Amino acid sequence: MFESIVSKIEQYDSIVIFGHLNPDGDCYGSQIALRNILRLKYPHKKIYAVGSGLKKFFDIIGKMDEVSDEFITQSLAIVLDSNDLNRLEDKRAATAKDFAKIDHHIDTFTFHEGPEVIDDKATSTCELIYLFAQENNLEIDLVSASALYLGMMTDTARFQFATNFVRMFEIAKNLCALGVDPILLNKTNNLVPEHTLDIKAFIYSRIIKDKRGIVYAVATKKEREALGVTSQQIVGNTSLLSYVSGYPIWLILSETDVGGMQCEMRSSIHNVQRIATHFGGGGHEFAAGFTIKEFKPEKIEELLNMCAEAIKKGNE
Ligand SMILES: [Mn+2]
């Protein structure tokens, strides 16, 4: 499955691993795990993972690396958990010498730079990194195992969502057998900064119920700034609106810093990925998002109409 990626890795002595904007547990976990696993196999190669990572895990799983612009231009860039170079946090990726990609998001056919392995049935990029290690008989040390477990745990919202539950639990079991401490990882992941209480209070005070089956909240830039939070932090709270009986689609809309509209939507039964794709975004069948240039009532209406249509069709 990963032959094309391995052949690229073998060709380069300097490798930089990139992840997406607003790194989550899967992005950070897969970057760290792949870096460590490759370092064990190829001690003579220089291998780094760049981006901001997830700070609360730095003591347990490790920090991200700093690399020079020049180093990147001589390196193989491995893109993880991201469709293409546009979504990457470190924009210097585009200057790399060569490219490869491993991801579990639906293929948007926008990665033209090198070989890729995409499996949108995998729970996470971490699951794919595990399979990569397994296929190539690579050693997974305890830190890498913890990083992989973190990515699987977070991208599945604690093992709730998977296409292949057998494979997910099999891998999670194997990671636990390597010594992973699920309690510590879960506890650390649950740690949230104090301002999250204000975000929650704000979202709960702004709930709008569309009788067609959509529950949502909208935050303007002004409201966001009064709370001192980013657009990403607002839309990152969709889970607050889930499981409301009678509302199979839930979403949060936020005005971006430049007057655009960022949206994250979820459903337990309807395909929201198709809707996100319509607005130029993407994601997974039941968890998707997008950002558009304008924050306008007509656009919100268009979005709600599409959601209502999906619910209606699903119910027929
Ligand atoms: Mn992911």
- What's the CA-to-centroid distance between 58 and ligand 1, angstroms? 19
Count Cβ atoms below 10 Å from residue 68 Cβ, excluding itself.
9
pLDDT tens digits for range 174-213: 999 999 999 999 999 998 888 889 999 999 999 999 999 9
d(CA 208, CA 230): 21
- String of DSSP letters for 84-127: SGGGBSSGGGGG-SEEEEEE-SPP-S---SS-EEE-TTSS-HHH
- The pLDDT value recorded for residue 185 is 97
- What's the CA-to-centroid distance between 63 and ligand 1, angstroms? 19
- What's the CA-to-centroid distance between 120 and ligand 1, angstroms? 10
- What's the CA-to-centroid distance between 125 and ligand 1, angstroms? 5
- The pLDDT value recorded for residue 316 is 63
Domains and CATH numbers, the chain: 3-190 (3.90.1640.10), 195-315 (3.10.310.30)
- The pLDDT value recorded for residue 283 is 85
Q: Which contiguous run of DSSP H or E holds residue 208?
A: strand 208-210
- What's the CA-to-centroid distance between 205 and ligand 1, angstroms? 30
Q: Is the pLDDT higher at 252 or at 268?
A: 252
- What's the CA-to-centroid distance between 34 and ligand 1, angstroms? 14
Contact 72, 78 (CB under 8 A): no
- What's the CA-to-centroid distance between 261 and ligand 1, angstroms? 22
Contact 46, 57 (CB under 8 A): no
- What's the CA-to-centroid distance between 164 and ligand 1, angstroms? 15
146 pLDDT more than 70: yes
In the β-sheet with 249-255, what is the strand arrangement from edge to edge? 208-210, 214-219, 249-255, 261-267, 287-292, 282-284
- What's the CA-to-centroid distance between 222 and ligand 1, angstroms? 31
Question: Please, which residues bridge with residue 251 across strands?
Answer: 216, 265
- What's the CA-to-centroid distance between 158 and ligand 1, angstroms? 13
- What's the CA-to-centroid distance between 297 and ligand 1, angstroms? 31
pLDDT tens digits for range 62-98: 999 999 999 999 999 999 999 999 889 999 999 999 9
Query: Which tokens go with 152?
Result: 């699987």
- The pLDDT value recorded for residue 7 is 97
- The pLDDT value recorded for residue 192 is 84
8 pLDDT more than 80: yes
Q: Distances from the Cα of 51 to the Cαs of 18, 21, 27, in angstroms? A: 7, 8, 10
- What's the CA-to-centroid distance between 26 and ligand 1, angstroms? 5
